[in-house]
Amino acid sequence: MSESVSAFVCPQEDEALCPLSGGSADVQAGGRVRTERARGTRAALKPIVVLQHRAGCAPSSIIELLEGDDRPWEIRRLWLGEPVPESPDEASAVVVLGGPMSVHDVVDHSFLLGEKAFLSSALAADLPMLGICLGAQLLAEVAGGRVYRRDEEEIGLVRIDLVADDPLFAGVESPFMAFESHSYSFTLPPGGVPLASRPDGLQAFRFGSAWGLQFHPEVDADRARQWVEEQLRCNREDAPLESEVAAAVRAKTAALLPMYQQLCRRLIGNWLELVA
């Protein structure tokens, strides 16, 4: 790995850093995925639209909660050429997922241009949105913030501090641990409200009815373990880890995952209540 990587799942981190007060979705291949669970008066609701940028960046735990909800939802797989909504009026809310590209990679990923135009109009219409990782960076950029390459990648479980009260984080204590996987960060757009941060950058913000999260509340247990194993392999290539350290990292991940899954469900559940 050419860039240095910030510390992850540090064996000295306190297990209590995922406090709460008080499986991956099976996405079918071929064509636009559309699942509707509308019942009763909800049948006339517009769908929650999920914008997905790559097959390996699935909605995971978000879909698990949507499947237990009675609102319609659908996934637009942008890398396959599926379109973003033509206007904000087509959706009741939008989730913008992460991806391996950056907001600047419009030549190699031309769908980003149309996505940015849609997100700009959605912000102007005050459409409820949740941006995750790349999705948060896209929201920050179209709202007037700056997306920049980090000096160090941020991968794995890291400690995050809340810096403001917001209903999205209701029931979440500060600090908390969350999964990261990114090499770009964003600045606060003008008019935005910072919600969470680390010493080296912003982690969450709100802009009107849109929230941006640099970390990954959609990650499930399998994806979290995969990220950690990938990072351990990178460390072995750059600077071999002692076997005891690697074992401690795996043990710490196993200890934190159940609490982190609760945190993910709390955050996504809070958002779904806010956009109901």
- Give the pLDDT confidence of 164-183 residue by residue, as tens digits: 999 999 999 999 988 877 77
The per-residue pLDDT for range 67-120, each reduced to its tens digit, is 888 889 999 999 999 999 999 999 999 999 988 888 898 899 999 999 999 999
Domain ranges of the chain: 15-274
Report CA-CA distances (Å) from 144 to 86, 104, 126, 200, 202: 22, 14, 15, 20, 15
Higher per-residue confidence, 145 vs 57: 145
| Domain spanning 15-274: CATH 3.40.50.1980 | no
CA–CA dist 181, 269 (Å, integer): 22
What positions carry a catalytic annotation?
133, 216, 218
pTM of the model: 0.80
Q: Is the pLDDT of residue 195 over 90?
A: yes
Closest by CA to 99, choosing from 55, 158, 148, is 55
H/E stretch holding 237 reads helix 221-238
Q: Is the pLDDT of residue 231 over 60?
A: yes
* Average pLDDT along the chain: 80
